[in-house]
Amino acid sequence: MITQLNPPLPLETPKGSGLAHFVIDYGPEAALMWVVFMDKDGACWTVPNPEVRLQFNWSMGRRKAEPAAPLQPAAPDEARAANVHRVFPRSPDS
């Protein structure tokens, strides 16, 4: 099924920003496909649902996402070993 969007939705895609004029639904086994006309050059791309985001809009409360915090380094093996709970009793040689 294809649905015309009225008004078109401003989206961010891997190819840049643009306006989505249609959305295509191929059914429950497939991602939605957005038909987007790019702001930069007017090119038309069909973009899978996981790759699109609504454009930022301060008035609507859609602000730029904060950069993700850096991951903490993994604990050394000794520290992890101290936190392991043994299920079986220790043998005399362990």
Confidence of residue 56 (pLDDT cuts 50, 70, 90): confident
Task: Report the pLDDT averaged over residues 64-87.
Answer: 58
Q: What is this structure's pTM?
A: 0.63
Q: Name the region of 27 (left: φ>0; alpha: ψ -120 to 50; beta: rest).
A: left
Closest CA to 65 of 9, 23, 20, 12: 12
* 5-54 tens-digit pLDDT: 999 999 999 999 999 999 999 999 999 999 999 999 999 999 999 999 88
Q: What is the residue extent of each domain of the chain?
A: 1-53
Residue 54 has a pLDDT of 84
